[in-house]
Chain A
């Protein structure tokens, strides 16, 4: 054993409170059947993980698409476009994600015409769709800001040269500005994607039983609080590591040789 733990005095001090720890450990709980009939508790957690990943990916697609559009809007010469972009970002940035999810899930069905509202409420997987849209739009504001920063960090000469070559604004963005922008902002976008994955956990409040939700459900059915949350923690860490490694490969694959894209 390592030196510190071999010191009996120190060990005694570390374990001194062992007496009253009123918690009943059971690490084998993962292999016990879960009450919802779908298998073991481990299966429960894994199905939550799958749901987390699905939600995160779908939300991220929405975030990327809308966020890039809004980010581009903010850099356009047109004043209206700029203002629209600004309003979009401010709107989705200044409200907590939880509040936004509540508005989509609880408020929207009540303020639209009755039959639509009922359809929205009775929709199977309503929490999933709501979470995807809610989280997607929330993250779109951040993607927009990153896109804007990326475009603005390009040398002014790029845009000027494109205009000199006779490209329209749309063509300038499509062939000159955006390809480089996305390469530059890939590192911050990676961390935004990781944020998206973490934000899916907020959706347990509207009934989306993703990984954190399944861990909580496991805790409620089996009473093994720490085992359940430890498993969830490990799974989130694994997802993180996988995403970071994957993005690093992607970055390397897409890098333009010779261009210093700030790391």
Chain B
């Protein structure tokens, strides 16, 4: 009969309509306005982007950028108080946790690529890095082909392990790939000789080598598995209003003098907890991107000045 069905549809419509907020905010912005809390996903050991200091507090380059986004959100929603909560994420859990609402922003060392854009979206790029491998100098491994038949570690859920897997298949290297839960674990495998090499983004490798007990024992390969790819802060897909706020905040930061200062703070000066100085001057592609911020996943679109 038509009547009950119409009633049912009306009921459904009423229930759905009840959800629409009078202020017409949608998605993450509405969630933040209603709950007064924004949750940031951070990493355990993605130095210097997002990691834990001695007091188990999350700090880093990406965390500072996210604080700027939080400020922008606070201004946009005209809130007096915006509570910031932190939730640890691993490489393999970050995307599902973003989708299921556990975190609102993922601030770490996540590569922006076309595949991931099917599930999430990214704001303006904050770093460019290529995938390389680190090994002990004594192992004498120079090129990717030298890894043939060896045990190589990488972190699960990263583009690095994916590129390693694909290279392994394409070049028939017969590498025994050991997946680790976190970046620190990948590097630890090389330190303890469980793996001869670890494949990660070269900036992360540089920070692990610098922070290790014996930095001179390691060498980062010249060979790269990929072109320099962009890092971006992850947001939920289909949420244009929130992305607009994030894009505006990051663009404002990068284009101002603060952007360069923030970069220097984490890459050219001593960073907690051990006072490491990574001494990595800003690359020309990244400098160009800071001047004209972009959220493109295509590595080729990032050209030098």
Q: Direct contact between A and B in the complex (CB less than 8 angstroms)?
A: yes
Residues of A within 8 A of B (CB): 7-9, 11-13, 15-16, 19, 22-24, 35-38, 110, 118, 121-122, 124, 205, 207, 209, 216-217, 219-221, 223, 225
Min Cβ gap B177→A in Å is 8
Across-interface contacts of B193 in A (CB, < 8 A): 118, 121-122
Contact across chains for A221 and B162 when beta carbons are under 8 A apart:
yes
B181 contacts across to A, CB distance below 8 A: 205
Q: How many Å lie between the Cα of A144 and that of B117 in the bound state? A: 53
Alpha-carbon separation in the docked complex, A155 to B176 (Å): 54
Instruction: Give the residues in chain A near B194, CB-CB below 8 Å.
Output: 121-122
Assess whether B5 is interfacial by the CB under 8 Å rule: yes
Beyond the given pairs A121-B194, A122-B194, A219-B96, 19 more chain A to chain B contacts, judged by CB atoms under 8 angstroms and listed by A's residue number, are A8-B4, A9-B7, A12-B9, A13-B11, A19-B19, A37-B169, A37-B170, A110-B192, A122-B193, A207-B178, A209-B179, A216-B92, A217-B156, A217-B179, A220-B92, A220-B157, A223-B115, A223-B116, A225-B96
Rounded to whole angstroms, the CA-CA distance of A55 and B4 in the bound complex is: 57
Spell out B's residues near A (CB within 8 Å): 4-5, 7-9, 11-12, 15-16, 19, 91-92, 95-96, 99-100, 115-116, 118-119, 151, 156-157, 161-162, 165-166, 168-170, 176, 178-179, 181, 192-194, 236-238
User: How far is it, in angstroms, between the C-alpha of A19 and the C-alpha of B12 when the chains are bound?
Assistant: 12
Contact B11 A8 (CB under 8 A): yes
Neighbouring A residues of B119 by C-beta, 8 Å: 24, 223
Q: B178 contacts A11, CB within 8 Å?
A: no
In the assembled complex, 6 residue pairs joining A and B whose CB atoms fall closer than 8 Å, in A order, are A8-B12, A22-B237, A24-B118, A36-B169, A121-B193, A122-B194
> Considering the chains assembled together, what is the distance between the CA atoms of A207 and B238 in angstroms?
36
- CB distance A12 to B11 under 8 Å? yes
- Knowing A8-B4, A8-B8, A22-B236, the reply to whether A223 touches B166 (Cβ < 8 A) is no
